[in-house]
Structure 1
Amino acid sequence: MSFTGNFEDRLMIRELMETYADGVNQRSTEIWASTWADESEWNLTVVPGMEALKGKQNIVAGWEQSMTLFPFVFMAITPGFIRVDGNTATARSYTAEVAVMEDGTDLRPRGQYDDELVKIDGQWFFKRRKFMSLHGE
């Protein structure tokens, strides 16, 4: 079974993924940053210089810088699996995005996140996110 562990934790993790996408769609640093643990890592392998950002502060700064390249971005996210084991979890999710670059170029990437998550004081956070492009830019 792809979804294992406590149902409430799995729901909280799904909501964390949805909050991440909402932060992108609202272009809200506050919302987006709230999904990351302080000691975290983001591997955005499709963007030079963002292949291995470490620490929440560096991750958020990299995201803010990259968002300046896109006057419009929309992200939808769907979990593929969530496996909870106590205060840690692993998950996979799939993204569909539409982005418009400053020059008007449309991008429509489809991707996959492989995640490690941690529960701190009753709240789930991304500990490590690795993005892989499945199709598109």
Structure 2
Amino acid sequence: MRIQAALRCLVTSLMTFDCTGCAHGGAHETRSVSGVGPTAELMEQVAIRELLDRSSDAINHQDWTALMAMFTEDAVWERRPPTAWRIEGREAIRAFLARNSDKVDVVSYTVSATAIHVQGPEHASARSTLVELLRFMDTGRGLRIIGTYTDEFVKKDGRWWFKHRTGHPRYEDEVPGPTRMLDGDASPASATESIRPPTPE
């Protein structure tokens, strides 16, 4: 978050110097293919990257209410073959994720190497690499998935929203599940017990 805040400050400061055509007596910001100026486009990219970070945090903590607050009411989430499905509507997506929480635990979810394309003042898209580790409740086995997410965003009410999310799985591997699931006071003893700091006397 500190890096994103620093980027916002940098972009804001750059706006003061972002002028072309000054030699002709005018000062104007060049327009990119998206129809917005380069500094404005950079600020939109920062905002979209922050949205992706917040969505990843919500998925890692299986906070579906927080996640759905980032999706439009008519959002679509789909997955390509071999296990293809398509869900339409924010509430239907939330119900699907909540229902699966009883079957699978999201151990780790990361999207990275994201390429963001601002297509206009209110439309953008992104492509990211997905690395995900799941644990199936009934067997305790793990599944590692590597793939691609393509996202479409819309901007309304001054913020960006997920409009359409498509998962393209490229590789998966069954892996041993976590040896210990550490969650609260009832968790089994951790292997890090031996490096616990000394108890104050």
Hey, what does 2:161 align to over in structure 1? Answer: 125
User: Are residues 1:111 and 2:144 paired?
Assistant: no
Distance (whole Å) between structure 2 residues aligned to residue 136 and residue 26 of structure 1: 22
Distance (whole Å) between structure 1 residues aligned to residue 171 and residue 91 of structure 2: 29
Identical columns (%) = 25
**Which stretches of structure 1, 4 residues or more, deviate above 3 A after TM superposition?**
45-48
Distance (whole Å) between structure 2 residues aligned to residue 66 and residue 133 of structure 1: 18
Hey, what does 2:46 align to over in structure 1? Answer: 11
Hey, what does 2:85 align to over in structure 1? Answer: 51
Task: Provide the TM-score with structure 1 as the length reference.
Answer: 0.87
Q: Alpha-carbon deviations, 1:37-74, whole Å to 9, x = none?
A: 111100023685x7111111111111111222123421
Shift of 1:104: 0.8
> Unpaired segments of 5 or more residues in structure 2?
1-37, 174-201
Give the alignment's Cα RMSD to 1 decimal. Answer: 1.9
Task: Provide the TM-score with structure 2 as the length reference.
Answer: 0.61
Q: Alignment partner of 2:85: what SS?
A: coil
Shift of 1:81: 1.1
Range with bigger deviation, 82-91 or 39-48:
39-48
8 Å CA contact 1:24, 1:73 repeated in 2: no
Shift of 1:23: 0.8
Distance (whole Å) between structure 2 residues aligned to residue 67 and residue 45 of structure 1: 21
Distance (whole Å) between structure 1 residues aligned to residue 79 and residue 97 of structure 2: 10
Shift of 1:118: 0.3
1:93-112 matches, within 5 Å, as 93-102=128-137, 103-112=139-148
Hey, what does 1:66 align to over in structure 2? Answer: 100
User: Are residues 1:77 and 2:107 paired?
Assistant: no
Which structure has the bigger radius of gyration?
2
Distance (whole Å) between structure 2 residues aligned to residue 133 and residue 16 of structure 1: 22
Distance (whole Å) between structure 2 residues aligned to residue 67 and residue 21 of structure 1: 16
**Number of equivalenced pairs:** 133
Whichever structure has more strand as a proportion of its residues is: 1
> Unpaired segments of 5 or more residues in structure 1?
none
Distance 1:116 1:25, change over 3 A: same
1:37-48 matches, within 5 Å, as 37-45=72-80
> Taking CA–CA contacts closer than 8 Å with sequence separation of 6 or more, which of the two structures ends up with the larger relative contact order?
1
